[in-house]
Amino acid sequence: MHVRALVASLAVLMLTATAALGAAPVQLTFTVWSYSTDVILDNIKKFEARYPGIKVSLQDFAWEKYTDVMTARFVGKTPTDLAYSSDHWLQQWAAANWIVPLEDYFPQVKAYKPDFAPYAIEGMTYRGKLYGLPYYADTIIFIYNEEMLKRAGFTKPPATWDEVTRMALAMKEKKIVEYPIMFQFQDITPWYIEVFLSMVYSYKNYQMFDASLNPIFDREGTAAHKVAQWLVDGMRKHKIINPASLETTEIPLVKAMGAGQVAFAVLPKYNLADLNTPGAHAQAGKFKMALMPGETHGTVGFVRFYAMTKMAADRGKAVQDAAWKFLEYFGGKTDGKFVVVKRWALEKGLGFAQLPLYQDPEIRAAINKWGNVSLEEEQAKVARAKEALTPFWGTWSLEFQKEMNKALLGQKSALDALKAAAAKWKEMKK
């Protein structure tokens, strides 16, 4: 009897094994914007080696067209299982049901929350539910050219916006640089609003909206008004902000700074690693970060994350299980470690939302070669996610930027520009 049972069990086991071995692998389609696709492909290769039953097909698109392409894919139901997403688009994508809350399918994802920076959790949360695991997260920081500052007679970076003005005027006077400050204020770049908000969040009363999402930033004396007026004065009165800022985007600004044409800039932190690359910039090695000048040194923290699509969720349990393995491998832990996130930090200098990584000696040593890990950690602690992220936020931000540029061009006052932007918000909110 025992022998029969044993033979039967072995037969069942063999059949199961044969079926498992013979089963077609689960195919996942993963869309990304084109950044270091060779690293992504290598990560995919390692993931597939770990999970032989899963195959991942990578598709990449230009960053600036990514949302357009993804919208076409979602509307056209082009097979897409996993995708890079961003706090900018979360509301729109989630409201349209293009991506799904991870918590509904993988309750275990909640265990990761204590590891993540609060601004990153906020940036991945819609209607109280977590929609992703972080690919990378970073802060907008204040970068300065230390040598220029020293030549102007200063030993410490500015701690307030008034000090920024004072130091910039000194540099201008000593003819160290004609326009010490430059921004990426071309009105179509998504970084414009992030930079503006970073400056706003450096004040105590930074709120742009009330609890009902009504704009309050257009009132006299608000943080937004102070920042807008500071920018207008810097460009039109003191002439310390380069007028070319209105036509500048991220890359030209970084190149100009690297060439020694800019002393102060507000940029996403990862640019500091690029600026200190000797092969790329004449001034490499001279760039440092400072806490965002202002009353609280607050700034914007942003997150880019891995999301699972509704299409993947609808494909059934096997695909969902494979998707979770993928999400956890790329944005979570493998054998108790954030392997992929750490790789991005070490190899490309990308920031991270996974706070335990700040304790990793390898990470600390790597960041200190081009930046300042303690300062970075300090800045991350006072970073906050963007307020009032609504499905129309992206469209509104473009309107805001156009209005703000009218003030910088002297066509209207800073307050009038804010009032016009607030009117646009109210119109869109209806």
Where on the chain is the footprint of other proteins (CB under 8 A)?
31, 34-39, 57-65, 68-69, 72, 75-78, 250-251, 254-256, 258-261, 270-271, 273-274, 276-282, 284, 346-349, 366, 368-370
Considering the complex, state which of residue 247 and residue 347 has its C-beta at the smaller distance from other proteins: 347
Query: Smaller CB distance to other proteins: residue 76 or 107?
Result: 76
The least CB distance from residue 195 to other proteins, in Å, is: 15
Our CB check for other proteins shows the closer of 134 and 349 to be 349
What is the CA 199 to chain-centroid distance, rounded? 16
What is the smallest separation between the CB atom of 176 and other proteins, expressed in angstroms? Answer: 13
Measured CA to CA, the distance from residue 338 to residue 409 in angstroms comes to 47
Distance CA 27, CA 311 (A): 13
Which residue type sits at 266?
V
Residue number, 65 or 204, with CB nearest to other proteins: 65
**Beta carbon nearer to other proteins, 145 or 276:** 276
Minimum gap (Å) between residue 257 Cβ and other proteins: 10
Distance, in Å, from the CA atom of 316 to the CA atom of 423, rounded to the nearest integer, reads 45
Contact 354, 133 (CB under 8 A): no
- Least distance in Å: CB of 259 to other proteins? 4
H-helix or E-strand spanning residue 410 = none
Q: Is the Cβ of residue 60 or residue 328 nearer to other proteins in the bound state?
A: 60
Minimum distance, C-beta of residue 79 to other proteins, in the bound complex (Å): 9
Q: How far is the CB of 60 from other proteins (least distance, A)?
A: 7
Q: What HEC string does 322-362 produce?
A: HHHHHHHHHHCCECCECHHHHHHHHHHCCCCCEHHHHHCHH
Q: Which is nearer to other proteins, 7 or 280 (CB)?
A: 280
The single-letter code of the amino acid at 313 is: A
**Shortest distance in whole angstroms from residue 71 CB to other proteins:** 9
Q: For other proteins, give the closer residue by CB, 65 or 110.
A: 65
The least CB distance from residue 68 to other proteins, in Å, is: 8
Name which of 256 and 409 has its Cβ closer to other proteins.
Answer: 256
Kindly calculate the radius of gyration of the chain based on its CA atoms and give it in whole angstroms.
24
Going by DSSP bridges, is the β-strand pair 133-145/264-268 parallel, antiparallel, or unpaired?
Answer: antiparallel
Nearest distance, CB of residue 262 and other proteins, angstroms: 11
Helix axes 339-348, 37-50, angle to 10 degrees: 160
What the block records as the tokens of 262 is 């800019």
Residue from 192, 186, 169 nearest 240 by CA: 169
70 vs 130 by CB, closer to other proteins = 70
Minimum distance between the CB of residue 321 and other proteins, rounded to whole angstroms? 25
Q: What are the Cα distances from residue 243, in Å, to 24, 215, 235? A: 59, 28, 7
Residues 6+ apart with CB under 8 A from 396: 390, 421, 424, 425, 428
Q: How far apart are CA 105 and CA 103, in angstroms?
A: 5
Cβ nearer to other proteins, comparing 375 with 409:
375
Write out the DSSP string of 360-392.
Answer: -HHHHHHHHHHS-HHHHHHHHHTEEPPS---TT
Residue 85 burial by CB count (10 A; 0-12/13-18/19+): exposed, middle or buried?
buried
Which residues, 6 or more positions from 63, have their beta carbon under 8 angstroms from its beta carbon?
A: 33, 34, 35
CA distance 190 to 396: 11
| Minimum CB distance to other proteins, residue 279 (Å) | 2
